[in-house]
Amino acid sequence: MTAIQDIPVNTIDGKPAKLADWDGQVALVVNVASKCGLTPQYDALEKLYRQYRDRGFVVLGFPANDFGAQEPGTDADIAEFCSTTFDVDFPMFSKIAVTGENTHPLYRALIAEHPQVDGPADEFREKLKGYGMEPNPAPGILWNFEKFLIGRDGKVAARFAPSLAPDDAKVVEAIEAALG
């Protein structure tokens, strides 16, 4: 199996990259969407990035259109939205699939390494059902803004439910512990 850090991805402006480009840092990998009820999490993600980046922390945003077609735009549209609406400065990547048969290899590896979601996944799953939506079964990605925390060692340290805000005490404590 290829190490998570060695799986090829593309930046939002189409340049080849790998998570290895951030080796030795603590990374929060998030599947994002511009037209989701959770989209305001961009603000908290950017604040976390600015607060901890000097200590070796990075947020890595992966747009995905897998849930309710809530990321319909092109990479250029997404980049413009993130910049003008949330002043996003953390690295963003080309749109990928995070669920289904076309799931990007990065997300297949993240899920395989940490299949259990930390946080209120069951509550969120029930909330989605209440809206008439059928959530992905575990261990698949539940919805937009699911978060994987990768430690300096390149291993997934935690996986947080979409509804757990990036600035929730549980997430912040995990980031601080990973930063050391």
In 10 A of CB 111, how many CB atoms? 21
DSSP structure class, residue 145: T
| Dihedral sign of CA atoms 29, 33, 36, 39 in order | positive
Q: Quickly tell me which residue has 């092109």 as its tokens.
A: 74
Is the torsion defined by CA of 98, 136, 88, 160 positive or negative? negative
Nearest to 168 by CA among 56, 41, 8, 35: 41
Judge whether 82 counts as a catalytic residue.
no
Tell me the C-alpha distance between 163 and 154, whole Å.
Answer: 25
Answer whether 161's CB lies under 8 Å from 118's CB: yes
Catalytic residue selected from 12, 36, 141, 178: 36
Active site residues: 36
